[in-house]
Structure 1
């Protein structure tokens, strides 16, 4: 038997892992939806005078100035429901993404064990590889939903798409199948290191924090009830991974709103970008290095509750489904 501590990827059947991942994604998405809308609005803002005047603010500065001001601006001009724009495709995205992610993570880990043997790789390296594979698989499988989420979150009161169904039909007619995958390259370039770093840090911290949690350490006990180690490890892992891969996330958002509807979103003059490298070059030229990190603050603020809720919910949902499975097995016996 391996001397390694029991870990997330070794628990539960494939179906239980998939169900737990979907449950975690559903709940996490609803909690952090407003911050996600704020992040997207900030990422798409170029801070040019014309962008400000077209967005309804002063022509001398940006429409949105920080997280709180953006929240107030959206509520004032679009109502409370404006903070949940794009929530339907986003909920579908998070459910499917989390289900694919945790399932692929478990499958990738099994494949690594079969290829090089269990405990042959350092835990961090194994977690990084499995996390990178799971992130790439989940991003590719759910990317059209991610694009739809971004476009809905980017539109103001002048609605570009009247419904999810209409958006799908319109994009298919105007942009073809490739239109649903705009920005996939920077998306993969972002998610592979992000998920790799996330799971590497998470799997390294969780066992250590679990021991403190078990001993009722003052810093952890009672934070979120039993299993606070999963939530804390998830927060730290997400902050580290998010900071390292954020520029690719911003580039992805800028490319996702390209196409015939580019000038109809909240920011009317989003530049026309061509490819990942061209987008990075244009942002650096006109907005400087800081332009690649526009929206990072709210992204990190979002990362804490999102990762904590996701991992905490996942652990509990998995244990619930496992207990339910054992109960059904015992009943059959």
Structure 2
């Protein structure tokens, strides 16, 4: 949820494809480079931010076809009679996109995804450091900085608060991304700025924040599940096979945590996507009773399985998403460490 925060998929805070991989990178980086703290300081905050932003952008671009398929499946039953819907088929939908829209259509909305990733990463990174310092200064926690439990609590709370902040600030771009990606043959929104202005004109400024509640609601569970599954699986693996490559362990455990987080928080992400499309392109509203009412409407019309439309392509993008982020992030850190500005 996004984490992007699937929630985020976007999920806000720590999303499935972004959050678990970022957490994996942060912990792997801390574990493998702790003796090289001076090198970590050498490349600086800005360089880490650039490396993270580029890694996220490359990963999102490579997995964009699967991300668009996920969105198309998620909104499949929104304006259709659920009884007439066929079983979701990735190959059938992918073939339809190529046949009717062209191969480039797999990347519809990807530009705004990249545009969203930069401010989201920047705000998330900055807010996390500020929230962490604030929490550590609270009386009671200040004297327990070396306590593992207190440190985990600070990281979870700081990550959750940073996720909420970043998601709220950058949410309009996430909504625009969904609307661009959900367009099929009829093009109503011609680009990022046209979509932003059209939504404000048709639905008012608050129209840019449709579905924000579902996004923020998924932040806590996404972080908690990703963190606990990653830590538990990594500890168990290393206790059983201590000589295995740390990269392999991190990639496998990061992917597993992403799958677990996606499974639990996917219904919230689906509801978020559908609420984001409420009133899009002048269509009639379908869900008029808020977050809880939307859940009830979907389960009544489509059954519990309706809450998991598109989960398969979401699973498929977790492993390559984590792997690509890791490789690009580490490569960018090496390149930035040798730039004249950092030397």
TM-score interval, smaller chain: 0.7 to 0.9
Q: 1:202–1:237: 8 Å Cα contact kept in structure 2? A: yes
Cα pair distance change 1:147/1:279, threshold 3 Å: same
The alpha-carbon deviation at position 32 of structure 1 amounts to: 0.8
The answer to whether structure 1 residue 286 and structure 2 residue 301 are counterparts is yes
- C-alpha spacing 1:105/1:25, structure 2 compared with 1 (3 Å): same
1:6 equivalent to 2:6? Answer no
Q: Which residue of 2 aligns with 1:192?
A: 220
Judged with a 3 Å threshold, the aligned counterparts in structure 2 of structure 1 residues 210 and 169 are, in CA distance, closer, same or farther, namely: farther
Please tell me whether residue 255 in structure 1 is matched to residue 275 in structure 2: yes
Aligned CA distance change for structure 1 residues 311 and 177 (closer, same or farther; 3 Å):
farther
Q: Is 1:153 matched up with 2:181?
A: yes
Tell me, yes or no, if the aligned pair for 2:164 and 2:219 is still in contact at 8 Å: yes
| Aligned pairs for 1:1-333 within 5 A | 6=30, 12=41, 13-46=44-77, 50=81, 60-62=84-86, 65-115=88-138, 116=141, 117-122=144-149, 124-202=152-230, 215=243, 217=244, 220=245, 227-259=247-279, 261=281, 263=283, 271-318=286-333, 320-321=335-336, 323-324=337-338, 328=341
Distance 1:316 1:200 in 2: 28
**Aligned-partner Cα distance in 2 for 1:228–1:167:** 41
CA gap 1:104/1:67 in 2 versus in 1, 3 angstroms: farther
Matched-pair contact (CA < 8 Å) for 2:189–2:195: yes
How far apart are the structure 2 equivalents of 1:205 and 1:14? 30
Cα distance in 2 between the residues matched to 1:302 and 1:160: 28
Q: Distance in 1 between matches of 2:135 and 2:94?
A: 44
Distance 1:183 1:285, change over 3 A: same
Describe the superposition over 1:258-288 as per-residue Cα deviations: whole angstroms up to 9, x where unpaired: 125253xxxxx88334311110111111111
Asked whether the equivalents of residues 79 and 286 of structure 2 are also in contact (C-alpha less than 8 Å), the reply is no
1:18–1:100 contact (8 Å) kept in structure 2: no
How far did residue 70 of structure 1 move? Answer: 1.7
Contact 2:53 / 2:118 at 8 angstroms: preserved in 1? yes
The superposition leaves residues 6-47 of structure 1 with CA deviations (integer Å, 9 ceiling, x where unpaired) of: 359995543233222211211111011001110000000118
TM-score (norm 1): 0.78
Q: Whole-Å Cα distance in 2 between the matches of residues 20 and 131 of structure 1?
A: 19
Q: Which runs of 5+ in 2 are unaligned?
A: 1-28
- What's the secondary structure of 1:68's corresponding residue? helix
Matched positions, count: 304
- Provide the aligned C-alpha RMSD in A: 3.3
Q: Which ranges of structure 1 fall in alignment gaps of 5 or more residues?
A: 52-58, 222-226, 264-268
Task: Check 1:244–1:126 CA distance in 2 against 1; reply closer, same or farther (3 A cut).
Answer: farther
What residue number does 2:8 align with? Answer: none
Q: Which has the higher contact order (CA 8 A, sep 6+)?
A: 2
Q: After superposing the two structures, state which structure 1 stretch, 125-134 or 6-15, moved more.
A: 6-15
Q: Residues of 1 paired with 2:103 and 2:191: CA distance? A: 18
CA deviation after TM superposition for structure 1 residue 147, in Å: 0.3
Q: Deviations over 1:292-323 (max 9, x none)?
A: 111112112122222332244334434543x3
Distance (whole Å) between structure 1 residues aligned to residue 93 and residue 230 of structure 2: 31
